[in-house]
Structure 1
Amino acid sequence: MHGEGTVAGEVAVFGCEDGALVYDGEFTKLEAPGEFGRTGNVFTTETSRIAFGDHRSDPDAEGSLLSAVTLIDTATKTLEVVPLPEGVQYTFRDLARGPADEAVLLGTDGAVHVMDEDSGELIASHPVIDAWEGPAEWQDPHPAIKVHDGIAYVTEPAADAVHALDLTTGEVIASAELDATPNEIAVVAG
């Protein structure tokens, strides 16, 4: 299973094709608007009641770019779909959480966008890589983001590179060229 996470208070959240499922001792189904509203990936922290997820409203758009995100409030048991600013899209590899529970998104405009986890309001945008287009197939290399200790690690397959962005300052603090094209990324604490 993928698309699950645990928020503050050990409340479990599961993404579904038509919303999300919350478990806090009993199951609650949160419906997405429309006939189809898939949340396939959720990003959680142990200190926040909010789960941050992707949102796909077209059942036939497997692997395509997405233009809205889902905020699942486990305390109020609500699901909100938040549209992104015009020109900003992403894929399932482009969501993360920041050090203060912010919702973090790597957009096709090449910027890392930081959103307030409660409102979905855009707090900051930090340019990191060149603008990019979505992959033809979801498995094809395309930019991805992972956050660890306040640093966002961003892959740039078109340049065979990876970049480190300090989310506090918005500054790219390191970049490295790779001997291969990055496809997915994981951060391992040492």
Structure 2
Amino acid sequence: MLDESRAEIARNEQCPSVHGEGAAKGEIAVFGCSDGVLVYDDGVFTKIQAPDTYGRTSNQYVSETSTIAVGDYNSDPDSEGYDLTQLALIDTVAKTMKIADLPDGVGYTWRDVARGPGDEVIVLGNDGSLHILDEQTGEVTDTIEVIDAWEPPAEWQDAHPALVVADGIAYVTDPATSSIHAVDLATGDVVTGELPGVPNEIAVVTG
């Protein structure tokens, strides 16, 4: 870590293949590693070891109002990580990690996870549904059907459904139909619009 003058103030080398980061409540930083995560809290690094020998956590899905960081999780070193079935729930205060399983037969990619207005975890599964998980337990509390089932991409750059949540609305892209769907997370209502081309990644800008 560097201070404002770019002088080194802290160092930790316990995060192999570091990739992905985020800041949870209290500006606690979380970094993904191939064997867990590294947490930086008030000047101190803490390594949280994955429960598997290879337990890669990369992208971090965080909220300014939650001390729980959510990471994509892959325990198969031979997998490309484009069809994941587990999530890492990281308690940045207790410095612990819990692995949550998605329902049988449901996978996702790094583009398909977001946090909801109540800090819940929202996953767009390759079964075409939004799965809403409790951030503490990882239990599925609700499921909303949105699009048809889809296949994981052969390469990470390939267009495949993506998810963004803003102001209580989940926006889901569907490359198969060149469309976008706005899902009201409170009611489950879905509004669909056509797009002029095949969507890939998505960003939402609010006022």
Q: What is the TM-score with the length of structure 2 in the denominator? A: 0.89
Amino acid of the residue matched to residue 39 of structure 2?
V
Q: What is the number of equivalent residue pairs in this alignment?
A: 189
Aligned to 1:15, the other structure's residue is in SS state strand
Match of 1:185 in 2: 202
- The yes-or-no answer on 1:10 pairing with 2:10 is no
- The yes-or-no answer on 1:23 pairing with 2:34 is no
Amino acid of the residue matched to residue 33 of structure 2?
C
On the 8 A contact 1:129/1:156 being kept in 2, the answer is yes
- How much does 1:90 deviate? 0.3
1:49-128 equivalences under 5 Å are 49-128=67-146
- How much does 1:81 deviate? 1.0
Deviations 1:109-168 (A, max 9, x none): 100111000000101000000011101111100001000000000000101111000111
Q: CA RMSD in A?
A: 1.1
CA distance in 1, matches of 2:186, 2:21: 27
Larger-gyration structure (1/2): 2
On the 8 A contact 1:63/1:136 being kept in 2, the answer is no
1:157-176 equivalences under 5 Å are 157-172=175-190, 174-176=191-193
CA distance in 1, matches of 2:178, 2:19: 28
Q: Percent same amino acid at aligned positions?
A: 59
Match of 1:33 in 2: 51
On the 8 A contact 1:17/1:39 being kept in 2, the answer is yes
- How much does 1:59 deviate? 2.0
Q: Unpaired runs of 5+ in structure 1?
A: none
Q: What is the TM-score with the length of structure 1 in the denominator? A: 0.96
| More contact order relative to length (CA 8 Å, sep ≥ 6) | 1
- How much does 1:75 deviate? 1.4
On the 8 A contact 2:35/2:54 being kept in 1, the answer is yes
Runs of 4+ in 1 over 3 A off after TM superposition: none
